[in-house]
C-alpha cells in the first residue's frame, strides 16, 4: 500500500526565535492546528547556554536533583571566572521547562539541534593544553569526556526533551576536524571519519542512557566530507536517526535529490526542507515550493523516509521568518503534504487563504482562488531564473554578489552544482554559445516578472483589501528584485566572457560585448540611484527587503568590474 504520510512532521526554529517564548507559543499553536508534531529548537550553542557543566566548576557528586543544587556548590567559582554566564543557565532552564510543559499539553515533541563541538570559552583557560601553537586541538581526548559530561547533565535537567539533532561535519562549530587548523601529530594522523565516530559515540552514550534519540545530520559542503560522515553514520547503532537535507550540500531547489536518501541502512531517516528561502529569495523573492515538496516527499516516502523537518528561518538572518512573508504558503504546503502527500495545490491554497484571512466573505471564493493560483504557481519558476543561472547558485544566500571573484566562487566552488552533476561543469563557461543561452534565460526572467506584476493588478473580488494590497506590493518588490539580479548577472557573465574567453578578441562579437558591458555598467549606476531613492522614500516591511535591495552592494560590484579594465 502506498505510504502517504510521515510519522514525524517537524517545524524548526533558529537562533533568536528559539529563545523567544511568545514566538514559540504561537508556533506551537500553529503546529497543533496544522498537524505538525515535532518542534526543533536550533542554535549551535543551545546546550552550552543551558548547562554549566557543573563538573568543571567544582561539583563533586555524580548526580543532583536540579541545577540549583549544582549552583549552590559553584556560584562563587562561576562569579569569579564567568560572571556574565553565572545566572544564564538556570534562567534559561526555567524558560525551556515552560516550553516543554506547553508542548506536552499540545502533543508536540521537542528536539534540540546544534553543531558540535561547542563549549564555554573559559574551558580554554582551565585547560590550556587544548590550544597548541595558538590553535584549538580538535582531537584532544578532553573533548570526548566533555561531550559525555555535557549531555549527562543536560538530560538530568531536561528528561522531557525527546532528543538531540547534531551536525558534526560542517566546520561551522567552534571545534571540528573539518575546519581543524591544529597541526599536532595526533591531528595529522586522525582521519575525518575517525573524529566523527569518536564525537558521535561520545554523544550517543549519555543520550541513549537517557532513553532519548540521537539524530545525526549529513550536512556537509563537499563530496569528500559527505563520504566521510556517510561511512560513519552507516555504522552507528540502529536507533540513531539519520537526517538528510532534501538536496545535497544545502537548500538549493535547482539541485538533484540528495543521493543518500534511501541509503542509510536500517536507520530511521528524516528529510530536511526549507520554507523561508535562504537560497531562493527569503520570501521577498517569492517562491512557492508546493510542487517541489510534493515531488521530493513522494520520492522520499518511496525510499523509506519517516519524517520531515521544515526550516522556517535562518540563524544568519535574525528577525526574519517565513511566517512573515508570502512564503508562509510553504508552511501550509509542507504541513498538508506531510500528512497526505497527494494533497492538491487547490486544497493547499484554499486552506492557506482561508486560515490566513484572505477571503472577504463566502462569495467568489473559486474566482479568488484562481487569481491567487495564477500568480503563486509561477513564483518558483521565476525564482529559479532569478538567483540562479543555468541551475547554478548565483547568489550569496539570496544576496547579489559583490565582486567578479565572489560571484564565481559562490557558483563554482562554495555552492558547486558540478560536484553533484558533472555535466554542469561548463554551465557558466565563457563561451559565446553558453553566454547567449544564459542571457536568454535572464531575459525570460524579466518578462516573467513583468507578466506576474501585470497579473497581480487585474481586478479581483473576494479578497480583503489589506491582503490584496500586501500581495500586490510583494509582487512589485519581487519585480524590482528580479530586475536587480538580471542586471547583475548580465554584467558578471559578460565580464567573464571578455576576461576569460579563449575565443577571438578581435571578432565583432567580442567587440560588441565590450560595448554591451559599457552600457550595462551605466545601467548599474542608474540601478544604484534607483535603489537609494527607493530606500529613502519607502516604508515596506519586512526590513529585509532593503537588505536584498542594497545600493551599496551595487556600488561595490560596479567598482570591482570597472577595475578589471575590460572596456
pLDDT tops 80 at residue 471: yes
Quick check: 355 and 332 in contact, CB under 8 A?
yes
DSSP 424: G
User: What residues contact 76, with CB distance under 8 A and at least 6 apart?
Assistant: none
Helices within 345-398 (DSSP H only): 345-355, 365-376, 379-383
pLDDT digits (tens, 9 = 90+) for 17-62: 999 999 999 999 999 999 999 999 999 999 999 999 999 999 999 8
Residues 406 and 542 both lie in one domain: yes
* Residues 337 and 427 grouped into a single domain: no
Last residue of a domain, one of 295, 321, 356: 356
pLDDT of residue 496: 98
Q: Would residue 260 count as lying in a domain?
A: yes
Q: What's the whole-number mean pLDDT along residues 169-175? A: 82
The residue ranges of DSSP E strands in 28-162, in sequence order, are: 38-42, 109-114, 131-132, 135-136
Domain extent, residue 390, equals: 365-562
Mark which of 356, 387, 411 sits at the end of a domain.
Answer: 356
* Residues 478-524: tens digit of each pLDDT: 999 999 999 999 999 999 999 999 999 999 999 999 999 999 999 99
Same domain, 254 and 283: yes
- Please tell me the predicted confidence (pLDDT) of residue 226: 66
Q: How many CB atoms lie within 10 A of CB 440?
A: 9
pLDDT in tens, 328-364: 999 999 999 999 999 999 999 999 999 999 999 888 8
| Separation of alpha carbons 459 and 543, rounded Å | 29
Has residue 36 been placed in a domain? yes
Burial classification of residue 58, based on how many CB atoms lie within 10 Å of its CB (0-12 exposed, 13-18 middle, 19 or more buried): middle
Within 8 A by CB and 6+ apart from 423, the residues are none
Residue 127: inside a domain, yes or no? no
373 and 346 fall within a common domain? no
At residue 232, the pLDDT reads: 83
pLDDT of residue 178: 85
pLDDT of residue 222: 61
Percent of the chain whose pLDDT exceeds 90: 90
Residue 474 lies in a domain: yes
* pLDDT surpasses 70 at 426: yes
pLDDT of residue 225: 64
If you average pLDDT over every residue of the chain, what do you get?
95
Write out pLDDT tens, residues 379-406. 999 999 999 999 999 999 999 999 999 9
Strand-pair partners of 109? 38
What's the grid cell of residue 85? 554566564
Mean pLDDT of 287-299: 98
> Is residue 378 situated within a structural domain?
yes
pLDDT confidence bin for 419, thresholds 50/70/90: confident
* 378, 500: one domain: yes
Q: Give residue 169's pLDDT band: very low, low, confident or very high (50, 70, 90).
A: confident
pLDDT per position as a tens digit, 216-240: 998 655 666 666 677 788 889 999 9
3-state secondary structure of 269: strand
**Same domain, yes or no: 424 and 524:** yes
Question: Are 117 and 43 spatial neighbours (Cβ–Cβ below 8 Å)?
Answer: no
- Same domain, yes or no, for 541 and 397? yes
Q: What's the pTM value of the predicted model, to 2 decimals?
A: 0.95
**Mean pLDDT of all residues in 53-81:** 94
In this structure, the answer to whether residues 490 and 509 fall within a common structural domain is yes
User: What is the arithmetic mean of pLDDT over 436-464?
Assistant: 97
- Total tally of structural domains belonging to the chain: 2
Closest CA to 520 of 552, 553, 492, 480: 492
Q: Which of 321, 356, 391 is the last residue of a domain?
A: 356
Residues 342 and 381 in one domain: no
Residue 400 is given by DSSP the state P
Residue 428 sits in the same domain as residue 486 = yes
Amino acid at each position: 500500500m502506498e505510504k502517504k504520510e510521515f510519522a514525524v512532521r517537524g517545524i524548526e526554529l533558529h537562533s533568536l526565535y528559539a529563545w523567544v517564548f511568545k514566538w514559540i507559543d504561537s508556533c506551537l499553536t500553529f503546529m497543533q492546528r496544522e498537524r505538525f508534531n515535532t518542534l526543533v529548537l536550533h542554535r549551535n550553542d543551545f546546550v552550552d547556554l543551558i548547562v554549566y557543566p557543573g563538573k568543571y566548576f567544582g561539583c563533586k557528586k555524580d548526580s543532583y536533583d536540579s541545577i540549583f543544587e549544582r549552583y549552590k556548590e559553584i556560584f562563587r567559582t562561576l562569579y569569579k571566572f564567568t560572571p556574565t554566564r553565572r545566572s544564564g543557565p538556570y534562567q534559561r532552564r526555567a524558560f525551556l521547562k515552560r516550553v516543554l510543559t506547553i508542548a506536552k499539553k499540545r502533543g508536540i515533541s521537542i528536539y534540540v539541534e546544534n553543531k558540535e563541538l561547542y563549549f564555554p570559552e573559559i574551558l580554554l583557560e582551565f585547560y590550556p593544553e587544548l590550544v597548541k601553537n595558538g590553535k584549538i586541538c580538535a582531537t584532544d581526548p578532553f573533548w570526548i569526556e566533555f561531550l559525555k559530561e555535557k549531555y549527562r547533565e543536560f538530560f538530568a535537567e531536561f528528561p522531557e526533551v525527546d532528543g538531540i539533532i547534531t551536525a558534526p561535519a560542517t566546520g561551522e562549530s567552534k571545534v571540528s576536524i573539518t575546519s581543524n587548523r591544529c597541526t599536532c601529530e595526533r591531528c595529522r594522523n586522525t582521519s575525518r571519519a575517525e573524529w566523527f565516530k569518536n564525537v558521535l559515540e561520545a554523544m550517543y552514550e549519555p543520550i541513549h542512557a537517557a532513553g532519548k534519540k540521537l539524530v545525526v545530520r549529513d550536512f556537509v559542503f563537499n563530496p569528500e566530507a559527505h563520504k566521510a560522515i556517510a561511512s560513519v553514520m552507516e555504522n552507528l547503532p540502529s536507533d540513531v536517526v539519520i537526517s538528510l537535507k532534501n538536496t545535497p550540500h544545502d537548500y538549493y531547489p535547482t539541485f538533484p535529490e540528495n543521493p543518500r536518501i534511501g541509503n542509510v541502512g536500517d536507520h530511521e531517516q528524516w528529510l530536511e526542507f526549507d520554507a523561508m528561502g535562504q537560497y531562493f529569495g527569503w520570501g521577498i523573492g517569492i517562491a512557492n515550493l508546493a510542487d517541489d515538496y510534493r515531488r521530493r516527499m513522494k520520492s522520499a516516502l518511496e525510499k523509506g523516509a519517516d519524517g520531515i523537518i521544515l526550516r522556517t528561518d535562518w540563524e544568519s538572518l535574525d528577525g526574519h521568518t517565513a511566517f512573515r512573508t508570502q512564503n508562509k504558503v510553504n508552511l501550509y504546503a509542507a504541513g498538508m503534504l506531510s500528512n497526505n502527500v497527494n494533497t492538491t495545490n487547490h486544497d493547499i491554497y484554499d486552506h492557506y487563504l482561508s486560515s490566513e484571512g484572505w477571503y472577504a466573505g463566502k462569495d467568489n471564493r473559486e474566482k479568488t482562488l484562481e487569481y491567487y493560483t495564477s500568480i503563486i504557481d509561477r513564483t518558483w519558476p521565476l525564482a529559479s531564473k532569478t538567483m540562479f543561472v543555468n541551475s547554478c547558485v548565483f547568489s550569496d544566500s539570496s544576496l547579489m554578489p559583490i565582486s567578479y571573484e565572489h560571484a564565481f566562487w559562490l557558483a563554482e566552488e562554495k555552492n558547486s552544482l558540478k560536484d553533484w552533476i558533472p555535466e554542469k561543469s561548463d554551465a557558466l563557461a565563457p563561451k559565446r554559445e553558453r553566454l547567449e543561452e544564459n542571457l536568454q534565460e535572464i531575459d525570460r526572467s524579466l518578462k516573467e516578472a513583468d507578466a506576474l506584476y501585470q497579473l497581480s493588478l487585474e481586478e479581483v473580488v473576494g479578497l480583503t483589501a489589506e491582503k490584496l494590497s500586501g500581495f500586490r506590493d510583494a509582487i512589485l518588490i519581487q519585480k524590482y528584485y528580479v530586475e536587480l539580479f538580471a542586471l547583475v548577472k548580465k554584467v558578471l557573465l559578460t565580464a567573464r566572457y571578455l576576461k576569460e574567453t579563449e575565443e577571438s578578441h578581435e571578432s565583432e562579437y567580442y567587440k560588441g560585448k565590450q560595448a554591451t558591458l559599457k552600457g550595462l555598467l551605466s545601467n548599474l549606476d542608474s540601478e544604484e540611484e534607483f535603489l537609494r531613492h527607493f530606500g529613502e522614500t519607502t516604508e515596506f516591511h519586512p526590513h529585509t527587503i532593503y537588505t536584498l535591495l542594497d545600493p551599496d552592494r551595487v556600488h561595490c560590484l560596479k567598482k570591482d568590474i570597472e577595475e578589471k579594465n575590460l572596456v
